[in-house]
Each structure stands twice: as C-alpha cells, then as structure tokens.
Amino acid sequence: LSQLPGWSVRPDGSIVVATGNDDALGLYRCTPYNSYGTAGESRPTRVLLKVRSPPGVPSRALQPLPSPPRRPSALQDPPAFTVRPKEEYFQEVGRELVIPCVAHGDPPPTITWLKVGSVGKSSAQVDGNSSLVLHPLIKEQHGVWECTATNQVASVTAATSVHVLGTSPHAVTNVSVLPLLLAANISWEPGFDGGYFQRFSVWYTPLARYPPRAHHDWVSLSVPAGAQHLLVENLQPDTAYQFSVLAQNKLGSGPFSQIVTSVPRGKGSSPEHPQCPQALGRLQSHLVPASASSPGFPVTTVPPEPPAMTVHVFLSPPRALTANETVRGVLLRWEPPARASVALSGYALELRQDKGGWEVLERSIPGTDTQVLVPGLIKDAFYEFRLVAFAGSYISDPSNTVNVSTAGMEVYPSRTQLPELLPQPVLAGVIGGICFLSVAVIFSTTAACIMNRRRAARVRKRRQGTSRRGQG
C-alpha cells in the first residue's frame, strides 16, 4: 500500500483510499492472521467507481456483470435495500408467512429468493412486492433464506432465518465419536426443536460379520435431559461400531442423524493423538496422572469391565402392510414378523410426506396388535407408511411401504388410535345398560298389560251389576 498515494490501513484493519481512481477498482479480500497462522480469507468485496458524465459523454459502470456494456448518460447505481428482511421469523406450521424485501438501483434490480442448502427448485412464491410468501408453511421450509437483488452493476444479498414451530425435531448435526478404552464418547449439535422441549437417544450397533444381521442389532440409550453427549460403555475391542442420534419432542421423533463409524480402543492400544477430554456432565470419568511418556494432561479412561456376551437375535420385519381409507382416518393392517428369536415387545409406525425424510409417528403400538388407525392427515398430501418391530432393545428392518393420498382434511396428525370403537370396560357397561333397559321395558309393558286387564275386568263387573239392577 505504500506505493499507492493516499492509501493507508487503520489499526482495525480497514483500508482508507483518499482519492478514488482506477487504482481502486477490483475485488478485495481480507486475510486475518497471527503467529499461529490464519483460518482463511474473507468473502470478496467489489469496489465500484461512480462517474457522472455531461450529456453526450458516456460514463462507465465499473466491473459490470457479463453482458453487453451499457453506456448510460447518467449515474449507474448498484442495488441497495430499502426494506430488508428481519434476522429471524417465527411462525406456526400450516399458517402463512410473508417476508418483505425491497431494493432500488440503476437500472432497477431483479429480486430473487433462495433457501440456503436446498436442492432443486424451492416451493417459495414471490408476490408483486418482491416479498417471499410461504403458504402454507411446512417443516421443510425451516432454515436460512436469502433475498438477492441484481442489476447490471452488482448483486447484493440479505439473509433471514425462518423458524417453523409446531413440528417434530430436526436432525442433529456434527455427530462426533471419540474412541476410548472399550467405550466411545458421542457428542453432537442439536437441530431446531420444533418449538418444544426435545430429548435425545443414541443408537449403536456393531458392524455385522454376516450380511443377514446387518440391521438387527441396534441398541438405543437415553440421554440425560439437557446433555449433548453420552458415554457408551462395555463395547467389544477391535470391533467397528456404527452410531446415530435421534431427537424427539412431544409431537414425535425427527429423522436419524448421519451414521458415524468408530472402533473403540482395546486394553493394549493407545490413542494416536491424545486429547484433553471434554466434560462428560453427570457421566463418570477417571483422570490418570500424567507420566513421563504422556503429553502432560489427563486422559479419560474407563474402568475395565468384562466384555458383554454377544447374543444372536433374529427379528424379521412385519409383513403384508396394507392401508384402507375410512371416514375416521387411514386404517393400517399387517401380519407379525415371521421370525423372532425373542418375545415381540411392540411396533413403531413411520411416515414420510411428499418424499421427505422418514419420521416416527407412533412408537408404542402393542406387540399383540395387528392394526392401527391414523386420523387427521393433511389435506391433498401424499404419504408413505412403514412399520418396524421391537423386541427388547432390538429393532427389525422396515416392512413394505404403503402409499396413501389424502383429501378433505385440514389438520396435522396428532396421534394414532386403535380402531376399536369403545374400550372393553366401557363396552361391557354399555351392553349391561342395554340389557337392563330391555328388561325394564319388558317388565313395564307386562305390568301395564296386567293393570289394563284388571281395570277392564272391574269395568265389566260394574256394567254387569248395573244391568242387573235395571232388570230388577
């Protein structure tokens, strides 16, 4: 910068250009660094030069977008926002959300909206005022949206976060597994909770040596409320494990996280890169004093315990899942698993809407049931259902998938219901009441008939007595 007259750098890192000329044109990037290095450079910033020209003399628009050069007779301005979206918006699922975004420039800019991280064309609509219209608001529209104003001079962007309330949780991210001695410490970053308190569970399974058992040994462990990590103990040495995390709130379960594979350390192995362990909350940890060969800080270890016995469990998926639409909802029927080496404890019903992610709708269906009623699905939507079986801590592969198209309903599913009209005690009471009422009606009718006959007999006797006195 010393070679450019009028250029200087402030203590905060800003560049000061005393006189704007052709030397100032171009793209700029800032790279912060210290004695340890740098984390990378910033996003590029474009410097534009505004030139006012007398009539008849063309002016320049510096660094135009790739297009035929425009030679206006007046000033060209890059887009600038006059109405920016707020940083965050919160709205209930199923309702309407309108997010404004207005910009001006010369020439007038074009406004476009895009959801960050979306694949393909989004379902967003833009009204005549360039506002983003989300109606009805759905779970998949949760996230960061960008409003971009573009003209021939430049392009500017404003971002906002949309939070969709009243849904099941979103998947957790950044799942990390730290291998320990016959154990593993699992940590993650929670996703959006859908507006309700959420809990987590860690699912893990050893990688099967035989393909038929690849998905039959998943075990779940509940995570203490408020924790974002869990220590999984009693793992087998020199065995690869798969780990996944599931979030759940009052409306149900979200999708499983990405699966992470890790191998716990055996008694004779040591970590390649010792690390200072993170706090394990209420989970017990043991600190080993640093020795001459240690790097000088404590290492988390787990007290040795005898390895758990491996149990071979065979649990086939539920069979012949079918769906029938009724006036009360969608009635699902199925047949129990053909093979189960342990007692069946229940089923879990999963659904997927419009090719989205699979979610758990009901996880407490008794193992003796073979049908369930799903009421109140959303209007004009396409659903897919499948079923998994549970036996203790084991879960089967999913059943076949059935497709359902709904119409005429406005609400989201609340919970599944069993298809019986009345519970057994209530039904017995109703039948008893009907029997009692029938007996009472018969008794009353019989008594009325007897009374009528007696009354008729008395009337006949009176008439006969009157006729005899008249003859005498």
pLDDT digits (tens, 9 = 90+) for 143-157: 999 999 999 889 999
Same domain, 195 and 225: yes
Give the per-residue pLDDT at 312.
46
Split at pLDDT 50, 70, 90, the class of 267 is low
Is 57 within a domain?
Answer: no
Give the per-residue pLDDT at 19.
74
Give the per-residue pLDDT at 59.
43
Is 40 within a domain?
Answer: no
- Tell me if the bond preceding 136 is cis, omega within 30° of 0: yes
Give the per-residue pLDDT at 450.
87
The position carrying tokens 């534009």 is 48
Q: What is the spatial distance between Cα 428 and Cα 273, in angstroms, rounded to a whole number?
A: 68
**Of residues 382 and 70, which shows the higher confidence score?**
382
**HEC string of 420-433?**
CCCCHHHHHHHHHH
Is 106 within a domain?
Answer: yes
* Interacting residues of 345 by C-beta distance below 8 A, sequence separation 6+: 367, 390, 391, 392
The first and second tokens of residue 297, run together, are: 């800080």
Pairing of strands 371-374, 359-366: unpaired
Q: What percent of the chain has pLDDT over 70?
A: 73
What single-letter DSSP state applies at residue 176?
Answer: E
Q: What percent of the chain has pLDDT over 90?
A: 27
Give the per-residue pLDDT at 273.
43
Q: What is the spatial distance between Cα 17 and Cα 19, in angstroms, rounded to a whole number?
A: 6
Give the per-residue pLDDT at 411.
46
Question: Average per-residue pLDDT in the chain?
Answer: 76
Q: What is the spatial distance between Cα 373 and Cα 396, in angstroms, rounded to a whole number?
A: 22
**Of residues 170 and 59, which shows the higher confidence score?**
170
31-45, 143-157, 179-193: range with lowest mean pLDDT: 31-45
Same domain, 218 and 297: yes
* Domain final residue, candidates 100, 132, 165: 165
Strands (DSSP E) found in 285-440: 286-287, 300-301, 319-326, 329-335, 346-353, 359-366, 371-374, 382-391, 394-395, 402-405
Give the per-residue pLDDT at 437.
85
Is 59 within a domain?
Answer: no
- Asked whether residue 212 carries a pLDDT value surpassing 50, the answer given is no
Split at pLDDT 50, 70, 90, the class of 23 is confident
131-145, 332-346, 399-413: range with lowest mean pLDDT: 399-413
Q: What is the spatial distance between Cα 217 and Cα 229, in angstroms, rounded to a whole number?
A: 22
- Tell me how many domains the chain contains: 4
Contact 171, 139 (CB under 8 A): no
- Asked whether residue 370 carries a pLDDT value surpassing 60, the answer given is yes
Cα angle 110, 146, 170; round to 5 = 150
Is 296 within a domain?
Answer: yes
Pick from 157, 161, 145: nearest CA to 80: 157
**Of residues 146 and 443, which shows the higher confidence score?**
146
58-72, 242-256, 429-443: range with lowest mean pLDDT: 58-72
- Asked whether residue 101 carries a pLDDT value surpassing 50, the answer given is yes
Same domain, 291 and 181: yes
* Domain final residue, candidates 301, 330, 362: 301
Q: What is the spatial distance between Cα 115 and Cα 123, in angstroms, rounded to a whole number?
A: 10
- Asked whether residue 130 carries a pLDDT value surpassing 70, the answer given is yes
Give the per-residue pLDDT at 341.
66
Same domain, 294 and 339: no
Q: Mean per-residue pLDDT for 234-243?
A: 89
pLDDT digits (tens, 9 = 90+) for 197-208: 999 999 999 886
Instruction: Tell me phi and psi for residue 86, to 5 degrees.
Output: -65, 165
What single-letter DSSP state applies at residue 3?
Answer: T
Go through 217-250 and write b for each residue having 16 or more CB atoms within 10 A of its CB, e for each that does not.
Answer: bbeeeebeeeeebbbbbebeeeeebbbbbbbbbe
Same domain, 196 and 273: yes
Q: Mean per-residue pLDDT for 389-412?
A: 71
Same domain, 130 and 190: no
- Residue count (the chain): 472
The first and second tokens of residue 193, run together, are: 């909770």
- Asked whether residue 176 carries a pLDDT value surpassing 90, the answer given is yes
Domain extent at residue 462: 426-472
Same domain, 368 and 297: no
Same domain, 156 and 225: no
Give the per-residue pLDDT at 142.
93
* Domain final residue, candidates 118, 147, 165: 165
Q: What is the SS3 assignment for 134?
A: strand
Listing DSSP states for 380-414 in one string gives T-EEEEEEEEEETTEEPPP---EEEE--S--S---
Half-sphere exposure of 129 toward its Cβ, with a 13 Å CA cutoff?
11
- Asked whether residue 305 carries a pLDDT value surpassing 70, the answer given is no
Same domain, 350 and 371: yes
Residue type, 191: G
Same domain, 146 and 184: no
Contact 108, 95 (CB under 8 A): no
Pick from 323, 386, 316, 376: nearest CA to 350: 386
Give the per-residue pLDDT at 174.
94
Is 269 within a domain?
Answer: yes
Would you call 264 exposed, middle or buried from its count of C-beta atoms within 10 A (0-12, 13-18, 19+)? buried
Distance between terminal CA atoms of the chain? Answer: 151
Give the per-residue pLDDT at 164.
94
Q: Give the distance from CA 404 to its chain's centroid.
A: 21
What single-letter DSSP state applies at residue 338?
Answer: S
Which CATH number covers residue 183? 2.60.40.10
Q: What is the spatial distance between Cα 388 and Cα 345, in angstroms, rounded to a whole number?
A: 11
Same domain, 220 and 264: yes
Is 374 within a domain?
Answer: yes
Is 46 within a domain?
Answer: no
pLDDT digits (tens, 9 = 90+) for 382-400: 888 888 888 766 677 788 8
Same domain, 363 and 430: no
Pick from 412, 414, 362, 411: nearest CA to 390: 362
**Of residues 338 and 111, which shows the higher confidence score?**
111
Pick from 249, 260, 389: nearest CA to 319: 389
